[in-house]
Amino acid sequence: MGTLKDSYTSFLKDIEANIKNKEDLDYIKLRFSQFLDVVLDQMDYIMDYRKEEVEKLEKKQKELDEKMGKVENIVNHIEKDIYSEEGFDFEIICPYCDYEFVIDVDEDKTEIECPECGNTIELDWTGDLDEPQGCKRRLLLM
Query: Which residue, 11 or 119, is less far from Zn ion as judged by CB?
Result: 119
- If binding is defined by CB under 5 A, does position 117 make contact with Zn ion? yes
Task: Fill in the DSSP letter of residue 97.
Answer: T
**Ramachandran area for residue 87 (φ above 0: left; ψ -120 to 50: alpha; else beta):** beta
For Zn ion, what does the binding mask look like between residues 67 and 96, x meaning CB under 5 A? ---------------------------x-x
In the complex, least distance from residue 133 CB atom to Zn ion, rounded to whole angstroms: 17
What is the Cα–Cα distance from 95 to 117, expressed in whole angstroms?
Answer: 10
- Count of chain residues binding Zn ion (CB under 5 A): 7
What is the Cα–Cα distance from 78 to 141, expressed in whole angstroms?
Answer: 15
In the complex, least distance from residue 136 CB atom to Zn ion, rounded to whole angstroms: 12
In the complex, least distance from residue 78 CB atom to Zn ion, rounded to whole angstroms: 35
DSSP E strand boundaries for the chain:
89-93, 100-104, 111-113, 120-122, 137-139
Kindly list the residues in this chain that would bind Zn ion in the complex (CB under 5 A): 94, 96-97, 99, 114, 116-117
